[in-house]
Structure 1
Amino acid sequence: MRAAAMSLTATTRGFVVLLLTVTVISQDDWNVTYSSTQICTLKGSTVEMHCSYRYPFEKDGQKTRVRSGFWFSKDSNNIYVDLRTDPEYSGRVQYHYGNNSCTLRITDLRKSDSAEYKFRFTTNQPGGSVTGSPGVTLSVADLQVNRSQINLYSVELKCQSSCPLAEPQSYIWYSKGRSIDGETSQFYRSYFYRPSRISCAVNGHENSPSPSVLVKDAWDVTYSSTQICAFKGSTVEMHCSYTHPPGIHVTEMFWFTKAKDDEYVKLKDDPQYADRVEYDQKSCSLTIRNLTESDSAEYKFRFKTNQQGGKYSGSPGVTLSVKDPQLQVHVSRSVNRFPTWTELTCQSSCQRPDYPSYNWYNNNVKVLEGKTYLHLQAFGPSDSYYCAVQGQEHFRSHAVYAPKLSSVSVSPSAEIVEGSSVNLTCSSDANPAANYTWYKENQDSPKASGHIFTITDFRAEHSGYYSCEAQNIVGRHTVSVHVAVLGGSWKAAAVGATTAVTLLVVFLLVFIMMRKKRRSEQSADPVQRADNREQDDLHYASIQFSKNLQESLYSNTASAEPQRHVEKEDEGVVYSGVRCNSGIRGQETEEDAAALYSTVKKTR
């Protein structure tokens, strides 16, 4: 099967470039052909990539059919991220494949779109999946103004991109924000008798101009970057360019951070940087290795010439910040199409000019090396992923994991009384932090969302099982709790018990008061007390006589009623010993002890 015609068109609102065809052989009889493997275009523009693919008509008696085809720039863990499912390209990519041709179109290009793009197709044949590799390397260019000194006041400026654009291009030059009429070339030469800010742009891309540069006189130092962030222990490079009037020669150049009274301490002579710095005299660059936090400073380039007073320092210089990377794992999910995937991206608060490599770990086991991102088809409930700087693994991020150890607490924790207010509080351990949704048993729609669910005026119909679903972007976990109101029968029993206790207390108080009153009355009138008794009592009195009695005196006194038998009077009888003494002192006989028995019958 012959390959279809191939071309690549880079559309940037006004220029079209045709590039050479490159064939990439992936397997025998299987291939993908790109029209070019290198494209440079401007930020904000639109780019198109074209390719063709080939496969055997049939294999082992089975006719070959293409099942799917897509473009991707990210792959890891045997997962290829279809650009149409990547949130970073949402609404900006279109492509077509069929009849052995394939096309990718990306609009509104960003600096982050700089990457290698590949086409992959799958067939119905066993192992019949092919990726065209190497792919197409896209570089989204930045513009900058470079200067060359012609003489004391004449300067030539060049609008240069970070990668070679297709020629020819039409340019626009700006002075103090206003366009300069008649200047459409990549070069601009003029006399500058006073400082001026100059910038440039490609015609049709006025929204993506270069940074402005201050053109002031023949003496100047320009830095490629004035802000750099680097990790502790890493290596950093700083670059610059310098100009001076023609006809003089540079005799010395160096970098410094410390200066006092026109005395500059060269970095190579500073003990703090011993054996850690290098200069490149030709390119005006500085390299510092094994960075420490104390290296954070403003670095400046200075040169001296053979002309008297011909010394110049570029100021302001390059501000270097050396810090811990403070890594974080950013989580994103596929959009719009299947199959689904989860992307973990290692990010740092320190934005380095280069792109450092990272290693990936799951539960402290290394799973991938040298990638900024990691792709997963599924994120398990026990998975815990983190990233670390390659070669500096002590710099690591916090792990990301699905919610776990979820729990629900109920307040008040005692039995809930009907009509009261109830708070259900859900908590879990998760990173990223979990969001909470509340459900009631046998109900599909959620009852509430948030960490706390409050039910005011709790009723019997509110009783039942409540579920809290803790969810973040990588997983979810559900926990339930049963909440019940103190029911009607229980409430009635509780009210009845309360009433009974209250009545019992009142009765006891009344009884105690009556008893105290009765005792008081008995103490005041013992005779009346005896008359009011409701039962018969037999009393024995102890009697002493003043004279000697030789015999016992028995006296029986009965009431008007018939006499009862003494045996029936046993109940309630109290016996008291009676002792009788004779009238003569010192004489004692057996008759001295005598008993006087008196039976008293009360009239009923």
Structure 2
Amino acid sequence: MRLKMSVFPPVSLNISLVSLGCCDVGDTGLVLTSQETSFSHSHSPTEMRGAAVSLTAAASGFVVLLLTVPVVRGYNGWGVTYTSTKICALKGSTVEMNCTYRFPSRINSVSTKVEETFWFTKASNNIYADLRTDPDYSDRVEYRCKNNDCTLRITDLRESDSAEYKFRFITNQPGGSFTGSPGVTLSVTGLQVQLSSPGVRTYDRSAELMCRSNCRLPDHTSYIWYKNQKEILRRKLNSLNNFELRNHYSCAVQGHEDFPSSSLLVQGQVNWGVTYAPAQICAFRGSTVEMNCTYRFPSRINSVSTKVEETFWFTKLQDKEPVDLRTDSEYAGRLAYSRGKNNDCTLRITDLRASDSAEYKFRFKTNLPGGSFTGSPGVTLSVTDPQLQVRVRRSTVNPYSTWTELTCHSNCQPSHHLSYTWYKNENSVEGGEEKYFHLHTSGPGDKYHCAIGGDVPVRSPPVYAPEFPAVSVSPSGEIVEGSPVTLNCSSNASPAANYTWYKEDANPGLPSLQKSLSFGSIKSSDSGRYYCRAENELGWMSAPTVIVVKYAPKLLSMSATPSGEIVEGSSVNLTCSSDANPAANYTWYKGNQTLLQGPEGFYHFTSISSEDRGFYRCKAENQFGQINSSSLLVDVQYAPKLVSVSASPSGEIMEGSSVNLTCSSDANPAANYTWYKGNQTLLQGPEGFYHFTSISSEDRGFYRCKAENQFGQINSSSLLVDVEYAPRLVSVSASPSGDIVEGSSVNLTCSSDANPAANYTWYKGGGDSPQASGQTFAITGIRAELGGNYYCEARNRRGRRNNTLHLNVVADFPEAWKSAVIGTITVVVLAIILLSAFLLIKEKITSKQSSEPVQRIVYSEKCLHSQSEEQDDPDYTNIHFLKNQTDPVCSNIGLAGPCRRDEEEDDDSVEYTVVKFNSSAPRARSQEIQEDPATLYSTIKTSF
């Protein structure tokens, strides 16, 4: 059930709070800060509800909040705020203590993370005992922590739970631990039934029984009253008026009936009574004890004065009558009574025995009839051995001032003062005669105990700091990764030691405050040196142990040395490493080829070569398993070599085709290439290609390339680029070159530019039958009928061309005939000249009538065509032009050969032999007749 209580009545508060914040640096420093705040305000119950806390009260308990002013404990951004600083709770109830904490979000660019939070009441040498590990709170403590808020819940409260509770959190920052101090003070108490008046009179109705607690209970609390353990009343008041003498009364808070108060026996008879002080006594065997009481009675009854006639103590009855202790032989010589002036009586017993343990009652008799009274219940005496023990408590004032308090304690506390003696290592300590003894220093092995004085002093067992711990590992043999492992630690110490485990080179403190540190599934990272620290309030001692975890290889890595450029010929080391226990064996591979096996993870190249370039990997294995590395490229750099050149297409290259030249080499890094034709530089660049979009015969030649990088260069051999093309520039000649006299011999020669070399075939006139083959056609004993046109055809696999030669065969005439012929020719030439002049004049006259002159060329009857018609250009020989004639006339022109077109020719163009003019006459209308520089004309000789 959750109760919300406003616990303050209207009151004017004037509260001065001093907040102390505790921030420690690791376990060595403590920083104290103080903040003082004053409050002065009048609060009504309604206003104070805001200050009340929500507490959980179990069905078996009850909690009262004494002070609910939130107090902040802080320092430089670190702090703890407790909802309340003091809480009072009833025994058996459940209590919740709440706090919020804060810390800097970042320190030196490192984000702050909370790694551990806990509550504690005990701290020794900066060692804080988490309540969850304290056996006194076993199964009664619960933490509820979320979003910088942490609540401590304790159930089934005991009076021994009364203490100051503090909250502590630990972060990942160096020294980033903080304790909120002072903390929350918890007081646990029970209910008590008390009599409002010391003397009870049956006629005095003002006397009442009160149900009280050290905790102030809320006004609306309901109470239950019991008489002789039976419920008699429920009411909202904590008092009971109607009660009867000689009955036991107890009370409880409604809803928490399981935790009633102890019973009170109400006794008295018309103002008769006995009061014992104390009612319970514990004494040591052999010691002396005194029991005191006071008694009362009416001074007069029925006008008769009351006189006490007999007083005594007793423990036994005989025939229902008390037996005076002085008559009991068991107390002979050990018993004495003493009476005071104020109706008191003291019983003194010496040399106490265990059999003396009993309930002792006092009885007095008066002179009145029936005027005897026994104080009941009496005094309970317990006689026991001292059972001394030394209790140790350490107090830390600041990091530089600590002290230890030893208390000589017994489960039996005598009512009188005892004489104590303190011993250090069997030697009495000067000044140690009190129950308490303070230590400022204590060395290893020092032992302390206390004793109660007497003829035979009774000693306590010694207390001492922990001895050197004994550490063991289970299992004790080989530890395999993934198996459960437990570290055990024990040390002789009094009081018993607390244990903390540390790992070397790790964060201080492992999550274990027990003798054992367990690993459910140990990892390789758990290998290392561990220390067990045993500590109590008198000191500490630490002992190491080493854990070695056996595991399969992992974290495999490969590297090459040098790590940068690897140049051919240099020394190179490959290294393979892994985390394994026992150490791994290594196997090296290049691709799928096994290279080397052994315990050393190295592979060495004394002088690395380009053939060593490739991907390498290694395998690490031991008896627990194996692992393969990723591949490592060993990139060997070297100058170009194995340079080669090639042409594409690789076979015959035809003029006009697209051709690629390729230069390649083996080089790392890749080479740059330079192309040459002969000694002429053509192209440079990273690509080893040279391209001809349309190759020509002029591109024919020898090509080579150079490959180079920063490590060197190499030249290729020469590559002949042989461009094939059809014959061209076909020429024919005769030797001798003039007129051929009948009966003589003549050699006809044909030549051309062709690749591959041309084959030649000779034809006569317009015949289709070859007359001869070969470049030279020899004719001997020539006759007149052999004269005429001869043409030569040049042919290869790329095409063919031809050209024509006119062979003029003349008879062997006398000189007289020759002169006549010459004269005749002269006359004809002069006639032609005159005719040409006439035509020129006429043309000038005609040109005025027509803007387009008419081109007229007169051919022989064998080939008479207009120049404007589309046709193959004919081969002309023995062409005669009239001098000074603007419009030449082709009259009397003899064709060198038949005007026919060879349908088998690949080229429509006809090449002409060179035309020689014997006259320097100007050429009219040159814009009409253009010369092709690629056209060759045969030699024409004219005789004038």
TM-score between both structures, scaled by the size of structure 1: 0.48
**Larger RCO: 1 or 2 (CA < 8 Å, sep 6+):** 1
Higher-Rg member (1/2):
2
Larger strand percent: 2
